[in-house]
């Protein structure tokens, strides 16, 4: 038996960002993909499989784009380590496929020279060859092949052209037993980078004739999209549409999912006998899964926009336009989209922070994202505002309740900017990373690519976030269910549960900010998802179906709470990390319990301080 | 330090400008990429120099400034040979260029 039959030959795709590696990966492997994380880091590992016409099975690895093997971000470090065979649990690739944008060869040639030093057998895929031909770019493939000493295949990944030739070449290379040469790669010094540039320049001059019709489209579009004023206006409009879509398009789907799970819960309720098992399945598992799944439409719609704009080449432009504004608060231009997404839900926002390649910038963004007012806070805000803030007109078109709502949103934004400012000034002083970013040429996104990436996002969200979120949901259910109420109990069941006991035990901590123990009890199931707090308040104040009956609950709260307490509760909700799902995603994205702990601690502290100030100010002003 | 200033004076005399000082529409050639500015980059100057080089800010490269941001005219977008790169002015200080006569 030959070795090829025992394990697939490993092929790694390496190239600059935006050269079409992912498109090529999709064209090569189709649906035979699997996504996981590399051991110990949160960088995605995308592997796919295919069988060559010659019957050899190949495993293809899609590596993060890079300009050099001298890695600067965690993503790029993965590419370097994968190519060098240094990754834990990975073997070095049998063949490296260098993916190049045929219309932009300068930088990739330098990377290819570095790859040659590594010494693995290599094939060069000249991708985007359709664009090169349209531009009338002439490449002497024979000469270039001779010069670089590796076979060259021209490809159009989005139309699956050249794919068979590429696999054939890879197959041939393996079959011929092409051996690796000694690895002589080392981190290039500045002088060596200059040398490599000169070499690349020489090669370009010798084998590539500049395009007859260079791309003018990108320049024309940029004249509008990067215009200092019009560009910003377009960006804001785009964001408005996106924001609108996340709320409006998702709403019916979310209602559908909610209704579906409610129906499922009811069905189970009918089939199973009354008792703990039924409660666990209906209220713990089904309601728990439902409360996670309900985010899926928002996440997919959001990622649909993000992937589309990314593939078109717009994301780098958005970062360019926003960089100065975000920079004032110590944030990276690319943090804009994640933070905006967080208005829908912090989960996709935090996931979208992947587009930021500098670790510190990314961490800052993740840490402040949950301060943006997510949609799950709206039910809580609505309830408290309707109970305590008079519905009064305070000016032309200004309603006091609306004004308070707006104030809460503003408080979230201002505090997010302030926190990131403090993080930059206090903890990472002077550590502003350089901001260097290629502005890729605009390209028409391919439908298949967008669809495949979207599918991938859904899969990742369900698989991995669910693995952390669901157990937390179940834990919260257990806490608020056990032990059950004694026979003849008069109070709601939750009062006798662990959640009730914890609530009453820790209430003294919350006394200074004006919370009574019922509120503290409600906070505990509210931890599963913020809006659940409304239902929980309904439970402890014994108002049936509180979410549908906000008026009655509001009236009850107004009887039991002082104005100061109500305002204090609002202030708490602006800051408190009241969402297990968010913490779960932060853990997954940062791969660190420490960072998750930092977020929890700082947000809780802020929430407590804010409530303290609000409560005592309100009492002093006579709202006690 | 003195030497450095003298050095820069020579550069200015030779008709060189920092890339951080250019305006949209300016074209020219990159003459010198240095590692002078020691502070405020979160990475050391040699690292910054290498990053600039890796993005194609290399001696001899032709450039044109195509765009700048609204606030503080920052960042700038530079067309470098056949690609476009965005960077902040503060990161462009060590790139010395000769502007074409207009
Ligand atoms: N016309 C044309 N467009 C292509 C081709 N290959 C990829 N594209 C488009 O180029 C854009 C970038 O492709 P990706 O596959 O996301 O590039 P990538 O190298 O994976 O990018 P990173 O993941 O950012 O490193 C997408 O809009 C693709 O649809 C091609 O051969 N021809």
| pLDDT at residue A236, as a whole number | 84
Residue B2 has pLDDT above 60, yes or no: no
Looking at residues B54-82, what average pLDDT do you find?
88
Domains defined along chain B, listed by start: 2-99 (2.30.30.90)
CB of residue A417 inside a 6 A radius of ligand 1: no
Best A193, A202, A313, A326 residue to mutate vs chain B (most B CBs within 10 Å): A193
CB of residue A19 inside a 6 A radius of ligand 1: yes
Looking at residues A584-598, what average pLDDT do you find?
86
**CA A331–ligand 1 middle distance (angstroms):** 28
Question: How many structural domains is chain A composed of?
Answer: 1
A496 or B95, higher pLDDT: B95
Residue A387 has pLDDT above 80, yes or no: yes
When pLDDT is cut at 50, 70 and 90, the band that residue A279 belongs to is: confident
Using CB atoms and an 8 Å cut-off, which of residues 5-34 of chain B contact chain A? Answer: none
Residue A4 has pLDDT above 60, yes or no: no
**CA A19–ligand 1 middle distance (angstroms):** 5
Kindly report the backbone phi and psi dihedral angles of residue A457, in degrees, each rounded to the nearest multiple of 5, phi listed first: -60, -45
**CA A450–ligand 1 middle distance (angstroms):** 11
A7 or A8, higher pLDDT: A8
Q: Could you tell me the sign of the dihedral formed by the alpha carbons of A12, A18, A22, A28, in that order?
A: negative
A193 or A578, higher pLDDT: A193
| pLDDT at residue A3, as a whole number | 46
HSE-up of B86 (CA within 13 Å, CB side)? 26
Residue A58 has pLDDT above 70, yes or no: yes
Quickly list H helices, A47-140: 74-84, 106-118, 129-134
| Residue A474 maps to a domain | no
| Residue A49 maps to a domain | yes
Helix (H) or strand (E) holding B30: strand B27-33
| Residue A36 maps to a domain | yes
A493 or A169, higher pLDDT: A169
CB of residue A440 inside a 6 A radius of ligand 1: no
Closest CA to A287 of A551, A541, A600, A535: A535
Residue A486 has pLDDT above 80, yes or no: no
A526 or A313, higher pLDDT: A313
Residue A585 has pLDDT above 50, yes or no: yes
pLDDT more than 70, % of chain A? 88
Kindly state the DSSP code that residue A211 receives in the 8-state scheme.
P
Are the beta carbons of A194 and B58 separated by less than 8 Å? Answer: yes
Residue B53 is nearest to which of A197, A222, A226, comparing CB atoms? A197
When pLDDT is cut at 50, 70 and 90, the band that residue A465 belongs to is: low
pLDDT more than 70, % of chain B? 78
| pLDDT at residue A402, as a whole number | 81
| pLDDT at residue A1, as a whole number | 40
Question: Which CATH number goes with the domain that contains A57?
Answer: 3.40.50.300
Are the beta carbons of B84 and A433 separated by less than 8 Å? Answer: no
Looking at residues B76-97, what average pLDDT do you find?
89
| Residue A523 maps to a domain | no
| pLDDT at residue A11, as a whole number | 93
Q: Cβ(A587)–Cβ(A596) under 8 Å? A: yes
Kindly state the DSSP code that residue B75 receives in the 8-state scheme.
S
Residue A48 has pLDDT above 70, yes or no: yes
| Residue A162 maps to a domain | yes
CA separation for the pair A407, A234 (Å, rounded): 26
Best A324, A334, A427, A440 residue to mutate vs chain B (most B CBs within 10 Å): A324
Reported as a single tens digit per residue, the pLDDT across A151-178 is 999 999 989 999 999 999 999 888 887 6
**How far does B42 lie from chain A, in Å, by closest CA?**
4
Query: A101 lies in which domain range?
Result: 3-209
Helix (H) or strand (E) holding B83: strand B83-87
Residue A284 has pLDDT above 70, yes or no: no
| pLDDT at residue A466, as a whole number | 64
A139 or B15, higher pLDDT: A139
Per-residue three-class SS string for A118-148: HCCCEEEEEECHHHHHHCCCEECHHHHHHHH
CB of residue A503 inside a 6 A radius of ligand 1: no
Which residues, 6 or more positions from A38, have their beta carbon under 8 angstroms from its beta carbon?
Answer: A44, A45, A78, A87, A90
Residue A309 token pair: 């704009």
Are the beta carbons of B53 and A190 separated by less than 8 Å? Answer: yes
What's the gap between Cα A154 and its chain centre? 33
Closest CA to A377 of A579, A176, A131, A207: A579
Give the chain A residue whose CA is nearest to the CA of B50.
A190
Closest residue by CA, ligand 1 atom 21: A18
Are the beta carbons of B50 and A193 separated by less than 8 Å? Answer: yes
Reported as a single tens digit per residue, the pLDDT across A409-433 is 888 888 998 999 888 888 776 666 7
Residue A54 has pLDDT above 60, yes or no: yes
Reported as a single tens digit per residue, the pLDDT across A521-566 is 778 767 766 766 776 777 667 655 555 566 677 888 888 889 999 9
pLDDT more than 90, % of chain A? 22
Q: Give the ligand 1 atom nearest the CA of A156.
A: 31
Give the chain B residue whose CA is nearest to the CA of A442.
B84
| Residue A122 maps to a domain | yes
| pLDDT at residue A235, as a whole number | 87
Establish if B86 touches chain A: CB-CB under 8 angstroms. Answer: yes
| pLDDT at residue A122, as a whole number | 93
Q: What is the average pLDDT value for chain A, to the nearest integer?
A: 82
| Residue A595 maps to a domain | no
Establish if B72 touches chain A: CB-CB under 8 angstroms. Answer: yes
| Residue A224 maps to a domain | no
CB of residue A127 inside a 6 A radius of ligand 1: yes
Are the beta carbons of B68 and A106 separated by less than 8 Å? Answer: no
Which residues, 6 or more positions from A289, have their beta carbon under 8 angstroms from its beta carbon?
Answer: A261, A466, A470, A473
Residue A2 has pLDDT above 50, yes or no: no
When pLDDT is cut at 50, 70 and 90, the band that residue A604 belongs to is: very high
Looking at residues B26-50, what average pLDDT do you find?
79
CA separation for the pair A566, A572 (Å, rounded): 10
Are the beta carbons of B91 and A68 separated by less than 8 Å? Answer: no
Reported as a single tens digit per residue, the pLDDT across A96-141 is 999 999 988 988 999 999 999 888 899 999 999 999 999 888 999 9
Establish if B45 touches chain A: CB-CB under 8 angstroms. Answer: no
Q: Cβ(B21)–Cβ(B96) under 8 Å? A: no
Give the chain A residue whose CA is nearest to the CA of B51.
A436
CA separation for the pair A259, A264 (Å, rounded): 8
């Amino acid at each position: 038996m030959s070795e090829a039959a025992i394990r697939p030959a490993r092929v790694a795709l390496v190239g600059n960002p935006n050269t079409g590696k992912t498109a090529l990966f999709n064209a090569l492997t189709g649906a035979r993909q699997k996504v996981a994380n590399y051991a110990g880091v949160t960088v995605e590992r995308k592997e796919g499989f295919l069988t060559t016409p010659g019957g050899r099975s190949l495993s293809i690895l899609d590596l993060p784009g890079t300009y050099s093997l001298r890695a600067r971000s965690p993503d790029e470090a993965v590419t370097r380590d994968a190519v060098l065979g240094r990754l834990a649990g990975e073997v070095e690739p049998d063949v490296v496929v260098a993916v190049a944008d045929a219309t932009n060869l300068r930088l990739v040639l330098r990377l290819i020279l570095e790859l040659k030093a590594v010494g693995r057998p290599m094939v060069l895929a000249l991708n985007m060859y359709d664009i090169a031909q349209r531009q009338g770019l002439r490449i002497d493939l024979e000469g270039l092949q001779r010069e670089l000493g590796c076979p060259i295949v021209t490809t159009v990944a989005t139309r699956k052209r050249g794919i068979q030739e590429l696999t054939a070449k890879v197959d041939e290379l393996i079959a011929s037993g092409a051996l690796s040469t000694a690895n002589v790669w080392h981190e290039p010094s500045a002088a060596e980078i200059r040398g490599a540039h000169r070499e690349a320049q020489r090669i370009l001059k010798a084998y590539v004739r500049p395009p007859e019709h260079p791309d003018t489209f990108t320049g024309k579009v940029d004249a509008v999209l990067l215009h200092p004023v019009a560009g910003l206006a377009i960006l804001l409009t785009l964001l408005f549409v996106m924001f609108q879509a996340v709320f409006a398009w998702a709403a019916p789907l979310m209602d559908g999912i909610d209704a579906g799970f409610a129906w499922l819960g009811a069905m189970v309720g009918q089939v199973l006998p009354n008792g703990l098992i039924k409660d666990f399945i209906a209220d713990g598992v089904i309601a728990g899964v439902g409360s996670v799944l309900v985010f899926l439409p928002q996440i997919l719609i959001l990622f649909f926009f993000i992937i589309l704009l990314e593939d078109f080449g717009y994301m780098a432009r958005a970062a360019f336009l926003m960089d100065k504004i975000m920079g004032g608060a110590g944030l990276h231009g690319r943090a804009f989209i994640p933070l905006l997404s967080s208005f829908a839900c912090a989960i996709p926002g935090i996931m979208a922070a992947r587009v930021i390649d500098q670790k510190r910038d990314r961490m800052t963004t993740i840490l402040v994202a949950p301060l943006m007012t997510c949609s799950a806070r709206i039910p809580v805000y609505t309830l408290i505002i309707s109970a305590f803030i008079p519905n009064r007109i305070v000016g032309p078109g200004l309603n006091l309740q609306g004004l308070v709502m707006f104030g809460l949103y503003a408080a979230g934004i201002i505090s997010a900017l302030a926190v990131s400012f403090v993080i930059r000034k206090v903890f990472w002083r002077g550590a502003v990373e350089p901001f260097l970013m290629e502005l890729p040429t605009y390209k028409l996104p391919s439908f298949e690519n967008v669809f495949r990436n979207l599918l991938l996002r859904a899969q990742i969200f369900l698989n991995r976030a669910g693995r952390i979120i669901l157990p937390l949901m179940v834990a919260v259910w257990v806490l608020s269910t056990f032990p059950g109420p004694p026979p003849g109990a008069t109070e709601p069941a939750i009062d006798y549960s662990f959640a009730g006991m914890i609530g009453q035990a820790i209430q003294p901590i919350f006394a200074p900010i004006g919370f009574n123990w019922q509120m503290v009890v409600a906070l505990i199931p509210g931890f599963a998802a913020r809006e659940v707090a409304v239902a929980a308040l309904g439970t402890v104040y014994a108002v049936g179906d509180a979410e549908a009956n906000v008026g009655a609950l509001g009236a009850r709260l107004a009887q039991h709470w002082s104005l100061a307490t109500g305002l204090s509760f609002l202030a708490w909700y602006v800051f408190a990390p009241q969402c297990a799902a968010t913490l779960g995603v932060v853990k997954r994205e940062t791969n660190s319990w420490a960072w998750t702990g930092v977020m929890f601690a700082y947000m809780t502290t802020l929430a407590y301080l804010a409530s303290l100030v609000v409560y005592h100010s309100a009492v002093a002003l006579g709202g006690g | 330090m003195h030497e450095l200033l003298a050095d820069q004076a020579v550069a200015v005399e030779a008709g060189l400008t920092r890339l951080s000082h250019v305006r949209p529409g300016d074209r020219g050639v990159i003459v010198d990429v240095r590692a002078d500015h020691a502070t405020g980059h979160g990475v050391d100057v040699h690292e910054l120099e290498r990053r600039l080089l890796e993005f194609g800010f290399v001696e001899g490269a032709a450039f044109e400034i195509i765009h700048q941001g609204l606030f503080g005219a920052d960042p700038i977008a530079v067309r470098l040979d056949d690609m476009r790169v965005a960077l902040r002015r503060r990161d462009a200080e060590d790139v010395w260029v000769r502007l074409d006569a207009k």
